[in-house]
Amino acid sequence: MRVLQILIAISAVVAIGACGTMKHVVSGGCPREWRPLAVINRALEVVPGEKRALGRPYIFDGPFGMKDLPKGCNVAWAVRGGAATVDGRGNLAVRADAAPGTTFDVLAYTAGVWGRQTAFVVDPRPNPIAGTWSQRGEGTCRDNVPAEPRIGELIFQRNGQYALTRQPFETQYDYWGTYTYDAATGRLSLSQPGSQPNREYHATLNARGELVIEGFGGAPAAGCTATFENSGTTYRP
């Protein structure tokens, strides 16, 4: 009797394993995914006439970040919108006459799930403040007025959007909106959703490549200045 029970248990384990193997084979070596799919794990910004390889999508694993898609998973690509095309290998081609400000969607299907990312056609001219910045130390203000807490992450994208958070954590931002920047005058204007007025600053790059924003990090009357170091992530094609 004891031997029979052991044989039954072994048969059950083998059957479960065979079932898993069959599912793996039927799916073409690509197990069905239940987590969301990320087409690209950063902002997708392109210029008119640009060609680029998108690479393989990622699996979004919540607070654990992004995980690589298994090598056995084939990817089907598509574009929604007339500003670009994409081939079966994920090579994106933007039309030469695509106007800055145009958007289109890149779609990817693999492992039984869809991924979508909006692409932004941006002005091909350089944007010196585009990138991800982190405040160096605390800001300085006139008359020993205390500065606001240090800003951990300040992101300027080339599509005119920005986001700010004092302590970076995934995509949780303290506030966000759109911005305009005039490199000739240093005028930086930040707007937020809703009826709040635009915030006006003077921003320049110093000799060390740091972003210095005057009037930032405190009450306007305090004359505060904040200095930011580039974290190495830029949103330039």
What does pLDDT average to over the chain? 81
Quick check: 140 and 225 in contact, CB under 8 A?
yes
Q: Is the pLDDT of residue 13 over 50?
A: no
Going by C-alpha positions, the residue among 126, 124, 119, 127 that lies closest to residue 96 is: 124
Q: Which residue has the higher pLDDT, 66 or 228?
A: 228
Q: The domain at 131-230 falls in which architecture?
A: Beta Barrel (2.40)
The whole-number pLDDT of residue 218 equals 60
pLDDT (average), residues 206-216: 91
Q: Into which CATH architecture does domain 37-121 fall?
A: Sandwich (2.60)
- pLDDT tens-place string over residues 162-190: 988 887 665 567 778 999 999 999 999 99
CA distance 76 to 116: 12
Share of the chain above pLDDT 70, in %: 80
pTM: 0.71
Structure tokens belonging to residue 20: 């898993």
Averaged over 200-207, what is the pLDDT? Answer: 93
Per-residue pLDDT, 224: 86
In this prediction, residue 233 carries a pLDDT of: 59
Contact in structure between 69 and 58 (CB atoms under 8 Å): yes
β-bridge partners, 45: 120
- What are the extents of the domains in the chain? 37-121, 131-230
Mean pLDDT of 16-29: 42
How does residue 16 score in pLDDT terms, banded at 50, 70 and 90? Answer: very low
